Amino acid sequence: MMRYPYIAVEGLIGAGKTTLARRLASMNQGRLVLEEFDDNPFLPRFYEEPDRYAFSVELSFLAQRYHQLKRVTEQDLFSNCTIADYSIGKSLVFAHVTLPPDEYALFMDLYGIMYADLPQPDLIVYLHLGIERVRERIRSRGRSYEQQIGVDYLMQLQERYLDHLQKRAGQRVLVVDLGARDLLHDEQAFNRLMELMNADVPTGYRIASL
């Protein structure tokens, strides 16, 4: 079993969050919580007209993530191993990049009210990939609405993610630099990640490489 009962895996688009979360949950017979991004009707429109649909897409994601994590809490499944391919803090990261200041201020108010009611992950694992590798992953995934995502947008998200995670007071945050390693096909890299995740991770922000 995993050392920490509730783990959230974070990272940019294509970093391998969902693949890793599935494997961890399967290995440990744990509860798997996957983001329901296909249920967000605003997402394809956001990539076409970001200024017009930014607030709608972020608010929709915030509501989806809250309700999903709230259901997990009510089912009392956090007493066992629970692996999610996101944390609700993801909403704050994306909103900071996509929304203008006035809409972001309103979003922050809503986020603060909803976030306070949810349990915190025992460990957040951020899978860090270089931007070029992220773009390769996006191209290989083949989702048409993702192909137009710009480098500047990805770089802003990466910067905002790391800033957000450094400020997670009282939480365990493990940033794993994947470099050129592939967790799906490189068993040595995966085993190294398991060692890092099952170690006594101190509270705070820690960077490690495979």
Give residue-wise pLDDT tens across range 51-83: 999 999 999 999 999 999 888 767 655 557 899
pLDDT for the residue numbered 140:
87
| Residue 95 clears pLDDT 90, i.e. is over it | yes
Q: Could you report the per-residue pLDDT of 104-128, keeping only the tens digit for each?
A: 999 999 999 988 888 889 999 999 9
Query: Which residues are annotated as catalytic?
Result: 85
What CA–CA distance (Å, rounded) separates 207 from 159?
Answer: 15
How far does Cα 69 stand from its chain's mean position? 13
Q: Which of 8, 16, 9 is nearest to 141 (CA)?
A: 16
Give me the domains of the chain, ranges plus CATH numbers: 6-209 (3.40.50.300)
What CA–CA distance (Å, rounded) separates 1 from 185?
Answer: 22
